[in-house]
Amino acid sequence: MLAPLLQNKTHLLEIGSGTGQHAVWFAPQLPHLVWQTSDLRENHRGILHWIDDCPADNLRAPVELDVGGDRWPQQQFDAIYSSNTAHIMAWHEVEAMFANVSAHLQSGGLFALYGPMKYAGEFTSESNRLFDLQLREQVAHRGIREFHEINRLALEGDLILLDDHDLPANNRLLIWQKA
Ligand SMILES: C[S@@+](CC[C@H](N)C(=O)[O-])C[C@H]1O[C@@H](n2cnc3c(N)ncnc32)[C@H](O)[C@@H]1O
């Protein structure tokens, strides 16, 4: 689903690479672009292990990136990808992510956000409702986000919704394009 959208992209930033498993899966399938991993410093060791085990010429070691901080890469990207992060970050960090994605995305560039969403207050499955409860019990600021609030942040940053894909396990893949 992601690969066809990225056919003509050259520089992708991944936010919140986590273990690095998504990066090592996608990067070899997209040899025409540079896949830049990033995350909070505490996750770099794990990402580097995955990259060591599954190297690819176009896969870059993680840069330190806290979406709410001021250490965003200096360069512009034509694609930004983030998976399973919006329900983990505090809401003010989600706001900062969208503002900075907009600032670091070239005109015509794509932002792809993967994960569970709520629509008009409704979860898309009972398992997502339970997952949301579990998230909030773990850390009060976590929780599955409301699509229209997320899309409002996108619009504030001139990010126009292109697609909202229904994916397995009650996850969505939201795609925006920078105007
Ligand atoms: C559930 S993990 C998802 C990891 C990976 N993307 C995946 O889908 O498997 C959430 C990720 O968000 C990252 N994260 C949380 N707060 C962040 C912040 N303020 N800035 C950047 N990344 C953050 C975490 O470090 C973690 O890697």
Residue whose CA is at the smallest distance from ligand 1 atom 23: 16
User: Which parts of the chain have pLDDT scores under 70?
Assistant: none
Rounded Cα gap, residues 88 and 2, in angstroms: 22
CATH code, 167: 3.40.50.150
Pocket test for ligand 1, best of 39, 43, 92, 171 (most atoms within 8 A of CB): 39
What is the DSSP code string of 90-158? -HHHHHHHHHHHHHHEEEEEEEEEEE-EEETTEESSHHHHHHHHHHHHH-TT--PEEHHHHHHHHHHTT
Q: What atom in ligand 1 is closest to the CA of residue 93?
A: 19
At which residue do the structure tokens 């998230």 appear?
A: 135
* Tally of domains within the chain: 1
Q: How far is the CA of 123 from the centre of ligand 1 (A)?
A: 22
Domain holding 152, by residue range, is 2-178
Q: How far is the CA of 166 from the centre of ligand 1 (A)?
A: 21
Task: Report if pTM > 0.85.
Answer: yes
**pLDDT tens digits for range 12-60:** 999 999 999 999 999 999 999 999 999 999 999 999 999 999 999 999 9
